[in-house]
Structure formats: structure tokens, C-alpha cells
Amino acid sequence: MASTTFRIGGDLGVRRLGFGAMHLPTEAGAGRENSVGVVRRAVELGVTLIDTAYLYGGGANEELIAEALHPYPDALLITTKVGVARSGASDEWRLDGRPAVLRDQVEQALRRLRVERIELLQLHRIDPETPLADQLGTLADLRTEGKIGRIGLSEVSVAELTQAQETVDIATVQNRYNVLDREHEPVLAACEAAGIAFLPWRPVAWGKSGAKAEVAAVAAELDATPTQIALAWLLGHSPVILPIPGTARIDHLEENLAAEGLHLSPAHRDRLDRLTEPT
């Protein structure tokens, strides 16, 4: 049976099956009230890893999580991401890893999340217009100052990960990955070799898993849903995978977390291993 926990950076223990907050409505009203309920229910059910980002509503998602959960339980890890900003004449979202921008976004995240230190801070994307050493150097400085604890990356190649490791210790990588989309299998392998946590975003292919007859067949045989099959496959595929499925519905949240107790036989896993989605 695969372990249900992982130590990020070798010391920060979390439950492997986490929660991605990206899809939670944050506007005032019934939608926001429901979002608060979903986040609180996730923690009630034992989730200890919640993923958010400045990009998700320009900080509104971070504020929602703080409203729902602060003061935070001791075992809860809230990770956020920086490095995307509204800038330029068009005021459109774009990659922005300039040191001053990263520092400001971290300071604002500390305020919105109501914490003095972000235990895991991830670079949302590498800004190709800013030297990587400058981007990571800024985060390393913030870590030295005690404002962040560990540094992660998102949507990187093996080469980019290797380059980043020459500047700072990398605790996590967050790339798109699921049973139907394994473009980043080499990155996962690199993370596994280095003991780096791999947080797949889009872990259930936005529900498309059920469109694959083989996934649906395995789900039917195990009296489970295709989403549960996709999550169970991830948990068993590599010990460093920490899925962060997101939902705005409590019933879907409970369905997702139940995947942790689902057992895929070697035969089922072999059938799923042979599935890939063209990239």
C-alpha cells in the first residue's frame, strides 16, 4: 500500500492528497459562502496541503483561504505562487519574475494569508525575460529573511529544474500531469530521483478521464468513479506525487479524498499505464 504522507523538503510532513483552491468562487454572496464551506470541510477531512496563487483572482483566493481557516491548524500547509502579474500598457496578466515584483507579491501574500512566513512558496512560471538566477536569488533572499521556508517551481523542464538546483534547493515542482497526459514524465523521474515533491495540476484531466473507455471500465469494475481511478493511479504511480484536485462542491471533495483508500490491482494498473493522451 502506497504511503499516504510525504515530507516536503525532507521535513515538512503533509498528507499526499491535497486540495487545489483555484476554482473556488471568491465574489461576495452564496458562492463565496459555499467556497468557505468547501475549504473548511477539506480540513475537517484531514487535508493538510492547500494550493493557491496570486494569479487566482489577484490575491482574492488567498484572502478567501485566510477567511475560512485562520487561525490555521498546526499541521496545515498553505502554499502559494508568485511570478505572474498585471503589468504593461495593456494591464494584462503576464509572466513577471523581476525581483521587485516577486518581493512585493510575497509581502502581499503574507498579509493576505495573515502569516509571518510562507512555508512553501512556488514560482508560478519562469519569466524568460528575467535571468533565472535573479528570480531564484530573490526567493533565496526572502528565505534567508525568514519570510518563506521552502522554494518550488511550476511548469519546468528537466533542464530548467537542473539549472534552478544550481542556485537554490528545490522542494517541489508543479507541472501538468495525469493518467492521460504524461508529457512531463521525465520531470517526474527527475523529482523522484532527487526526492522532490511533484504536485500535478490538472490531476484528473478536467474530468476527461471518464471519456477513456479503459478508465471507465476500471472504474466500473471497482465500483468507483473515473476521477477516483485517476487519483488512485497518481498516488500509486510515484511516491513523490502529491495530487491537488480542486472542486467547488463538497460532494466532489469527498469523492476525491475517498480515492486514497482505493486499491488498484497490478492488472488494473497495467491497463492504465498503457493509456496516454496525444500531446
The strand ranges marked E within the chain are 5-8, 12-15, 19-20, 49-51, 77-82, 84-87, 92-95, 118-123, 148-154, 172-174, 197-198
269/244 Cα distance (integer angstroms): 21
Beta bridge partner(s), residue 95: 84
84-87 and 92-95 strand pairing? antiparallel
* Known active-site residue 54: no
* Cβ atoms of 259 and 216 closer than 8 Å: no
Q: Within 13 Å, how many C-alpha atoms sit on residue 4's CB side?
A: 11
Instruction: Give the 3-state secondary structure of residue 181.
Output: strand
Nearest to 256 by CA among 268, 265, 247, 269: 247
43/72 Cα distance (integer angstroms): 10
Active site residues: 56
